[in-house]
Amino acid sequence: MQTDSNTKTDLTFEDFKSQVINDYKIAVTSRECSLLGRREVLTGKAKFGIFGDGKEIPQLAWAKVFKNGDFRSGYYRDQTFMMAIGELTIEQFFAGLYGTTDINLEPMSAGRQMGGHYGTHSLDENSDWKNLTKQKNSSADISPTAGQMPRLLGLAQASKIYRNVEGIDTTNFSNKGNEIAWGTIGNASTSEGLFFETINAAGVLQVPMVINVWDDEYGISVHAKHQTTKENISEILKGFQRDEEQNGYEILRVNGWDYPALIETYQKAEYIARNEHVPVMIHVQELTQPQGHSTSGSHERYKSKERLEWEAEFDCIAQMKIWMISNNIANQEELDAIDKSIKKEVVVGKKAAWNNYLNPIKSEQQDAINILTELAESSSNQVFINKILNDLKEIAEPIRKDMASAVRKALRYVVSEESVAKNNAQHWVNTYMLSVQPKYSSHLHSASKHAAIHIDEVLPTYDNDAEDVDGRLIIRDNFDAIFNNYPEALVFGEDAGNIGDVNQGLEGLQEKYGELRIADAGIREATILGQGIGMAMRGLRPIAEIQYLDYILYALQIMSDDLATLQYRTKGRQKAPLIVRTRGHRLEGIWHSGSQLGGVINLIRGIHVLVPRNMTKAAGFYNTLLESDEPALIIECLNGYRLKEKMPNNIGEFKTPVGVVETVKEGTDITLVSYGSTLRIVEQTARELLEVGIDAEIIDVQSLLPFDLKHDIVKSVAKTNRLMVIDEDVPGGASAYILNEILNTQNAFQHLDSQPKTLAAQPHRPAYGTDGDYFSKPSAEDIFEAVYEVMHEANPSDYPKLR
């Protein structure tokens, strides 16, 4: 079922009547899904429910003006809209509620997100782009309140880029930049900083973005008087209203129960945004929430009797009924018949979805029963296995945990036995886990041929008389090659445009490539990330610059909840190959000191984290990633821009491999592992250690996520039999992660003759000044003494105690 987008005024009355009745059917279908969905949660068939009841009619009006190529960035109340554009069926609604893992049955997330989170497929089964201009698009939802807003900005900015930048192949992505990015947010979530940051940025950028604010006066149980100044978001944003002299927003207000006014309002908003490329906010007021916030509680606990009575009267579907009857579109009897028919249709769809979910699991249950029956008959512990077997048989509606748990527990009772049945049970469990685990764990990264780990290294090459230059010139010239070779590439960030970034790595490029491709941005890290995510989702290749690594913390929620999970939560049907550029390491002082990696690497799994030691390595990473389809964070060494490096003669062509370490010095006595600026101190110290007879092997990690895919570090440890990880992060930070990878993933412990060591910074930010750095982070003397102490413990006669 889908809305008819033909909203022209020259329709016959019969055509108009047919459209209205169709809209009513969609609204009632959505409402019945919400009501029945809540009951499914309360009966235990579904885990949790959050629904779009009360927002049906404005979403119908919105769907009428949503065109092919447009994008939605919404939150978990937009089910009616998705039904109205033909992207959500009754069966799919309930499949999402049950957590069905078959992406053909549950196309939104294959059961990885709870129901209410919607998205369309931008990629085919081979991870190649579909033609986004031929379909209605929804970026995959996330739950964190207002988290959808930064991405919305980028989705809208892509239209501006496609409209104004020449040379980009727009075939699958845009029709002359005519697409609108539509966002939705609840009134309470407009209190979030991400909302205000996005609103401001869109007003500055003047992009075709329409934000729908669904206002039902509450945020869970908290009334608007505790949420918003004047209890009215459009009232306090009046200063953003555009006028004849200044750019800004078009701000519209409409009541959410007024069907004809909603249609008129959305037609106006669409015209302004699509034709004038002006952001619009539609404040949809006087909405209701018939079932409260979610299945976790009842709204009768916090709403007054008067409010509940008002909500019953001004329920948008109830008001639409009144309007339809008064305008002779349908009578009460006809509407009652429609209601009754749709109730049956929703029940049928619900049952079909439940059977589709349950039947494969029931089949797996029978397989497990057969395995346990055979195992019990052959075991001396039959009585105990039969207890597990009978318990499994009694489960009428099993989940996969039941089978896996039952057979795994039963194997404990035959651990000392030998039988064909035991072998069959072991094989069944191993096979079952291998087949089931990917349903819940695949696609953290790209599964396509374009994955970064598939891109081979290309070494930099040099002329015989290659000049020693500042590292910044290598990164600058490489960016020049990138923007020349990739018309769809662009970079933006604080000071990135006019002055060519604070370290001159983009020097002169804005003049050459224009202000849209080499762009300055305000001090607003979260929406810089959001710009990148949204544009990458629409086929562009953005590089979002965060001036210093510390500032990543402002954008960490967006990176963690949105960008890092995108491929996972869509099971590979959406991607955003965004490159996040920043700089850090060894800066003196509490701020911009680059010591957050222990947190970063554990919060953004799904994004590659790359830590090149110099600008040639960094440039190679950019070249690699632009051939891939994955997001990454590249941390350039802040103190490396003025250090001399040889200028390669294959700028723009050499590639640094992702997930591969480099041995920068071979040795026999101990393996020293580090990265970034600290690696240079390790290299200096290794030369000093040679003076006392200690020959250290030095390995540059280069890539924290993924980490040493070839397991080269364990090969080094097998040779030296000793290991030290040196890092400028706090104790237990990145050094602990690295040590865990080497010991537990690569099993290096079996080769060690000495205790593995980590040498990290002090458990605080570094103090100001050179002395602050020396006494806060590992120094050359710290490294020397730590390595010497390891050798002293192993051979005190050759290495007497130093101090």
Residues forming the active site: 592
Spatial contact of 794 and 753, defined as CB atoms under 8 Å apart: yes
Task: Give the amino acid at 378.
Answer: S
Provide CB contacts within 8 A for 222, sequence distance 6+: 188
Q: Identify the residue whose tokens are 């990690």.
A: 701
Pairing between β-strand 222-223 and β-strand 218-219 as defined by DSSP bridges: antiparallel
Spatial contact of 540 and 516, defined as CB atoms under 8 Å apart: no
Question: What tokens appear for 231 in the block?
Answer: 């209890």
754 SS3 class? coil
47 SS3 class? coil
Pairing between β-strand 670-674 and β-strand 696-700 as defined by DSSP bridges: parallel
Question: What tokens appear for 433 in the block?
Answer: 């886990």
Provide CB contacts within 8 A for 147, sequence distance 6+: 194, 557, 558, 561, 562
Helix (H) or strand (E) holding 767: none
**For residue 771, what are the CA distances in angstroms to 497, 654, 676, 784?**
34, 38, 20, 18
Q: Is the peptide bond before 706 cis (omega within 30 degrees of 0)?
A: yes
Question: What tokens appear for 500 in the block?
Answer: 């060519």
Spatial contact of 787 and 689, defined as CB atoms under 8 Å apart: yes
Helices 56-65 & 259-276 angle (0-180, nearest 10)? 40
- Alpha-carbon dihedral sign for residues 440, 446, 452, 456: positive
CA dist 49 and 293 (Å) reads 9
Provide CB contacts within 8 A for 386, sequence distance 6+: 376
Provide CB contacts within 8 A for 689, sequence distance 6+: 695, 696, 784, 787, 788
